Chains A and B, each alone.
Chain A
Amino acid sequence: SQKIEQNSEALNIQEGKTATLTCNYTNYSPAYLQWYRQDPGRGPVFLLLIRENEKEKRKERLKVTFDTTLKQSLFHITASQPADSATYLCALDTTDKLIFGTGTRLQVFP
Chain B
Amino acid sequence: GAGVSQSPSNKVTEKGKDVELRCDPISGHTALYWYRQSLGQGLEFLIYFQGNSAPDKSGLPSDRFSAERTGGSVSTLTIQRTQQEDSAVYLCASSYHTGVNTEAFFGQGTRLTVV
A residues neighboring B (CB under 8 Å): 4, 6, 30-32, 34, 41-46, 49, 51, 89, 93-103
Which of B4, B42, B48, B105 interacts with A96 by CB under 8 Å?
B48
B103→A34 contact, CB < 8 A: yes
- How near does chain B come to A104, taking the closest CB pair, in angstroms? 10
- How near does chain B come to A70, taking the closest CB pair, in angstroms? 20
Given A43-B4, A96-B56, are A102 and B42 neighbors across the interface (CB < 8 Å)? yes
A89→B42 contact, CB < 8 A: yes
Give the size range of B's interface with the partner: 20 to 34
Residue numbers in A under 8 Å from B26 (CB-CB): none
Q: For A98, give the chain B residue with the smallest CB separation.
A: B104
B residues neighboring A (CB under 8 Å): 4, 33, 35, 41-43, 45, 48, 50, 55-56, 91, 93, 98-101, 103-109
- Per the bound structure, the CA–CA distance linking A73 and B55 in Å amounts to 29
- How near does chain B come to A60, taking the closest CB pair, in angstroms? 17
- Per the bound structure, the CA–CA distance linking A93 and B104 in Å amounts to 10
B56→A97 contact, CB < 8 A: yes
Residue numbers in B under 8 Å from A51 (CB-CB): 101
